[in-house]
A and B are shown apart, each in its own frame.
Chain A
């Protein structure tokens, strides 16, 4: 029995340690070279490695320590590293994180026009298409980054499936009702998974919901009060629920792939006929499933109100860590990267929205460039809030309630709105 008690005491001790050991800070010093972190996207990594090689050869004595971090760990690793001073000099981050966390928390250095070869921030801004820098602009009006990747939202359709259903892929799907009509014909032709949203993690739920919110005119919050139960926001959720079940259903969300490492798997394998896509998604499908890619056509996103088209844009920006001791050198490297926008267009279909980008030879080679151009023109950045990760969880729960658990749309929206209020006021 003494042994038992010893074992139990040990178990108690390990239990205590296990319960407490999860939240400890740790430290690590930075590097003397320019450190640069991005998320993982193989074609993009290839472009960066080539350009870094070129930059290091042209600038003897400068070393770029380039690291890629899996997408689902990126924000966590970045925040924890910045908290202990071991963060990179250059951060490549999406606009939601920049506006939601990094800029308000004062983690980033404003752009350095001199290091970018300009005499003022206005001159830097003048390089880019109007509005495209909003994603890296703080409430203080300062600019904190240059765009590395600017994404619009469109719809990919499988023309082979359309042919099976007797549909003309040249006839535009102007509204979601048009998509429903096409989906029903596709289902009748055996393509039962005509369309589905993606249910990967709360970030994906949130971005797709915001795509619909832009079209209905809804919002997530007003100040510190949730507005997911406003009529416009409820309408967006209603569209999502209608397309995923009931009379307007055009696919079974329970059968949608949830593999976050291959987000467009169902479209790429031909299981799904239509899906919301971004430029990089098409690039990824072309690489993994060239046969399906040959049958995909990118068309404008269907609208709630075709006379008032709206779409969602998001962007990644190069920004410099405010704690970096090599800010000037870092901005110079960013300048170098921004001068190679055509390499990104050619290598990975990343659009850097410099004025006149669409006229370049590389841009003209991008398939469906007119559709993407139109998507950028009607695009809006997502609304972000403080504690955005928690808000995204609330949005995901709202969608799950309405789509999978059969909770009434209004009730799901009200619950989520209350949760958002609690998050913002808590």
Chain B
């Protein structure tokens, strides 16, 4: 006699639990609605619009004219766009590969518990707290022919007024600015590695390099993967340092600056949208490759 009643109670409690979960989910969803609505209106909708706009010749002040894939055809042979793409790749690789490597080394050094290390960490984080515009203005002074960099290094380089050096000047400045960002992530990653792992390795006679290569580096791989994705994002989205320091002159025009100038200075909205679509496809492809690489490591 007891079984049916137990079954009934169980079934009733289960359906009450399901109802409660559904209510909670609905409540959670309702809380998310304002943010989702804003995201849809200000991010997704314009994003979708850009796809359509890329097929039009639109100058902001005249009605759009459908041109099919003309914008893409033009871009495929436009040397300025090609140079901007190459410069973006150069900047992303030139800045973020060294920044990641430097951040990893510094994180290793700064994760030791000795007096004054907190201050040292703060010193490395400072550039991160400053805006790109502020950093660029400061570095304009540093990179002046009579500026600090030339004085310290004993050089006579026109950092910002030569096609040979301007792109390197941007890379040097950006490494200085960006290393702190990845340093934070690597420090967090290092803190999550249990100390007994190192203890055991030390007992087994592993030296510092072996501990780093065979233990720290593999255990940091999840953080490194996130850092790599963030690095690609930040590198490909670069705009402010080029806009402030060189305005894209001396071979430093990156794709985002090219898009800005094409859209808002030249009022060629269709062509700028086509670049945005191409970049979307390119970055989506890069991210998917990274996702696949991560899955393989799993």
Tell me, yes or no, whether A binds B: yes
A79: Cβ under 8 A from any B Cβ: yes
Do the beta carbons of B225 and A8 come within 8 Å of each other? yes
* Distance (whole angstroms) from the CB of A404 to the closest CB of chain B: 5
Q: In the complex, how many residue pairs between chain A and chain B have their CB atoms under 8 Å apart?
A: 148
- Given A17-B47, A22-B260, verify A202-B250 contact (CB < 8 Å): no
Interface residues of B in 6-45 (CB under 8 A from A): 42-45
Q: In the docked arrangement, what's the CA distance between A144 and B261, Å?
A: 27
Which chain B positions have C-beta within 8 A of A15? 233, 236, 280, 283-284, 287
Q: In the docked arrangement, what's the CA distance between A230 and B230, Å?
A: 49
Q: In the docked arrangement, what's the CA distance between A209 and B280, Å?
A: 38
- Given A15-B233, A80-B264, A254-B145, verify A20-B284 contact (CB < 8 Å): no
Do the beta carbons of A400 and B283 come within 8 Å of each other? no
1/0 per residue, CB under 8 A from B, across A1-18: the answer is 101110111011011111
Q: In the docked arrangement, what's the CA distance between A197 and B244, Å?
A: 20
Interface residues of A in 140-175 (CB under 8 A from B): none
**Closest B residue to A400 using CB positions:** B249
- Given A11-B230, A396-B249, A404-B250, verify A19-B61 contact (CB < 8 Å): no
B179: Cβ under 8 A from any A Cβ: no
Interface size on B, residues (CB 8 A): 66
- Given A5-B295, A12-B287, A404-B162, verify A390-B60 contact (CB < 8 Å): no
Q: In the docked arrangement, what's the CA distance between A187 and B267, Å?
A: 45
- Given A12-B287, A18-B237, verify A24-B50 contact (CB < 8 Å): yes
Report the stretch among B104-112, B212-220, B270-278 that lies at the interface. Answer: B270-278
Do the beta carbons of B46 and A23 come within 8 Å of each other? yes
- Given A20-B46, A20-B50, A20-B276, verify A14-B233 contact (CB < 8 Å): yes
1/0 per residue, CB under 8 A from A, across B279-296: the answer is 110011001101100110
**Closest A residue to B59 using CB positions:** A105
Which chain A positions have C-beta within 8 A of B51? 20
* Distance (whole angstroms) from the CB of A49 to the closest CB of chain B: 29
A82: Cβ under 8 A from any B Cβ: yes
**Closest B residue to A80 using CB positions:** B60
Do the beta carbons of A8 and B261 come within 8 Å of each other? no
Picked from A11, A16, A23, A201, the residue with its CB within 8 Å of the CB of B53 is A23
Q: In the docked arrangement, what's the CA distance between A11 and B291, Å?
A: 10
Picked from A12, A21, A393, the residue with its CB within 8 Å of the CB of B46 is A21
Q: In the docked arrangement, what's the CA distance between A7 and B290, Å?
A: 11
Picked from B49, B161, B283, the residue with its CB within 8 Å of the CB of A253 is B161
* Distance (whole angstroms) from the CB of A274 to the closest CB of chain B: 21
Which chain A positions have C-beta within 8 A of B264? 76, 79-80
- Given A12-B284, A12-B287, A16-B280, verify A23-B50 contact (CB < 8 Å): yes
A282: Cβ under 8 A from any B Cβ: no
* Distance (whole angstroms) from the CB of A196 to the closest CB of chain B: 12
Do the beta carbons of A19 and B158 come within 8 Å of each other? no
B265: Cβ under 8 A from any A Cβ: yes
Do the beta carbons of B277 and A20 come within 8 Å of each other? yes
Do the beta carbons of A20 and B225 come within 8 Å of each other? no
Interface residues of B in 77-98 (CB under 8 A from A): 78, 80
Picked from B43, B60, B74, B297, the residue with its CB within 8 Å of the CB of A426 is B74
- Given A16-B284, A80-B60, verify A22-B263 contact (CB < 8 Å): yes
Q: In the docked arrangement, what's the CA distance between A76 and B158, Å?
A: 31
Which chain A positions have C-beta within 8 A of B229? 7-8, 11
What are 19 A-B contacts defined by CB distance under 8 Å? A1-B294, A1-B298, A11-B230, A11-B287, A15-B287, A17-B44, A19-B276, A19-B279, A20-B48, A22-B256, A23-B49, A76-B264, A101-B267, A389-B265, A389-B266, A390-B265, A396-B249, A405-B163, A405-B250
A contacts, CB < 8 Å to B: 1, 3-5, 7-9, 11-12, 14-25, 75-76, 79-80, 82-83, 101, 105, 107, 199, 201-202, 252-255, 258, 387, 389-390, 393, 396-397, 400, 404-405, 419, 422, 426
B contacts, CB < 8 Å to A: 42-51, 53, 59-62, 74, 78, 80, 140, 144-146, 158, 160-164, 222, 225-226, 229-230, 233, 236-237, 247, 249-250, 256, 259-261, 263-269, 272-273, 276-277, 279-280, 283-284, 287-288, 290-291, 294-295, 297-298
